[in-house]
Amino acid sequence: MIRTLIAIPFLCFAASIATAQVPRVTAELESDSTTIGQPLLLRISILVPTWMPEPPVFPAVELPSLLVRQPERSTGPISENVDGETWSGVRRNYRLYPLAGGSYTLLPDDVTITYANPKTNEPVTFTDPLPELTFVATIPEGASGLDPLIIASGFELQQQIDGDTGLAVGGAVTRTITAKITGTSPIMIPRLTPAPDGDSLRAYPKDPQIDEKEDRGLLLGTRAETNTYVAQTEGTAALPGLSLDWFNIETGQLETATVPAIDVSIHGAVSGRVEDAKAWHLSKVLWFALGLGAFIAIAIRAFSARAASLLVALKARAFQTEWYTAHKFSKAISRRDLTAVTTAFSEWKKHYPDAPEQSFSVLLDGMTSIGKARFGAKTEETTANWRALRSGFSATRLRLYRDTRRSRRNLQLNHLNPVWSGSSTRSQNTAAFTELD
């Protein structure tokens, strides 16, 4: 009994030594509150009495609407004096960026440590949960009315125009709007590009380019949006300006970043381009030139001025026919020249002024898909796109030709047969036949 009583203090002392040799894990936030979009520092520290033959396994810090970043050199060695002994370990820093207001709670999660046993130097695995941590993200008083909410230490807008703002139908101009932000992540930047005014321009956007980086612990970055606009019809259009209010966290004041609007003028395409006229002349009008060669030669000698003007008029009239504009459209498809396709389509469409807009939906959809593949960034332009556009053009042209012939034939029959031209006329004639009976 006496031996047992004597042994108890020694056992307690040994237990205290064993307890003291257990690794220590701590986690702390530098503050219990922060501003939306501004960083809050989280430190996780690990100390062991010996050394760690393997790196520790830190928990994943994840929460909805919380952006987590590890700054440069986020993990580094540390040492502290514990009960008169020097313990060593590591510390990892996280920067937490809340993207919305409210309370955030980091739930307990395990940290796994492998360290050398103080007595045997054998590796020992130890697991310890982090404590529950809570903080609040708030909106500064001066920024409460902002929509979208941009809180930063610096923010500016820039734009770049590639191409001429005086376009022909089928021509294109590219606009890039870039937002630069300092003191927070560019994820906080909203969509930048407003839609163009009117239907004269068709937009082909690329995927936004977001570039985030860190400079001496300060998060910054850019968001760039590029749109290519293809002219559809003659007239004027505008690429609207952009104005965004933002809250300067350093001055506590609201500021405004702007880019001006861009005016675009669109004129009609030049009909009968030289290369198209030569190709058409060589391939389709050879018979005409041979058949009338002798006559033209005599006519030029006798009436040179009149013959020349007549020839020009004949060519100009030929270049305005439905057949020639359709040929021009087909050649542009063969060359896969989207600008020429848009121009030729606009000219060919004028020959069917009474056709409903949905009659051309297959062609418009085909040109749109090719434009998205060429100017956008999500799909790739393929031979199938152009083959579908060619087949769609053939089917559309045939259908419009038949509808036009049927409409003309019905109009002629109505003039030749007034008895059947309308319901009232039919009623009158029926009455007349009744009286005769």
Instruction: Grade residue 287 by pLDDT with cuts at 50, 70 and 90.
Output: low
Hey, do 21-138 and 146-267 end up sharing a CATH topology, with the first three levels equal? yes
227 half-sphere exposure, CB direction, 13 A CA radius: 18
What pTM was estimated for this model as a whole?
Answer: 0.66
Please, what is the average pLDDT of the chain? 82
Q: Per-residue pLDDT for 431 more than 80?
A: no
Q: How many CB atoms neighbour CB 269 within 10 A?
A: 21
Which residues fall within 8 angstroms of residue 431, CB to CB, at 6 or more apart? none
pLDDT for the residue numbered 362: 87
- With contact defined as beta carbons under 8 Å apart, do 344 and 332 qualify? yes
| pLDDT surpassing 70 at residue 429 | no
**pLDDT confidence band for 401 (50 / 70 / 90):** confident
Highest mean pLDDT among 251-260, 343-352, 363-372 belongs to 251-260
Residue 115's Cβ-count burial label (10 Å; 0-12, 13-18, 19+) is: buried
All structural domains of the chain with their residue ranges: 21-138, 146-267, 274-418
**Residue 242 in this model has a pLDDT that exceeds 90:** yes
Mean pLDDT of 180-200: 91
CATH class belonging to 146-267: mainly beta
Show the CA angle centred on residue 115, arms to residues 111 and 119, nearest 5°: 140
Task: Give residue 311's pLDDT band: very low, low, confident or very high (50, 70, 90).
Answer: low
Helix locations, 285-321, DSSP H: 286-302, 304-319
Asked if the model's pLDDT at residue 127 lies above 90, the reply is: yes
DSSP string, 379-422: S---HHHHHHHHHHHHHHHHHHHHHHHHHHHHHHHHHH-GGGS-
Q: Which residue has the higher pLDDT, 13 or 239?
A: 239
Q: What average pLDDT does the segment 336-361 reach?
A: 87
pLDDT at 372: 84
- Under 8 Å between Cβ of 327 and 280: yes
For the ranges 72-76, 79-83, 101-105, the maximum mean pLDDT occurs at 101-105
Using DSSP's 3-state secondary structure scheme, residue 304 falls into helix
Separation of alpha carbons 410 and 68, rounded Å: 73
Written as six digits, the tokens of 233 are: 């019809």
pLDDT band for 407, please (50, 70, 90 cuts): confident
CATH class of 21-138: mainly beta
What stretches of 154-261 adopt beta strand conformation (E)?
Answer: 154-162, 166-168, 172-182, 201-205, 209-215, 218-231, 235-239, 242-248, 253-259
DSSP assigned state of 358: G
Separation CA 84–CA 98 (nearest Å): 40
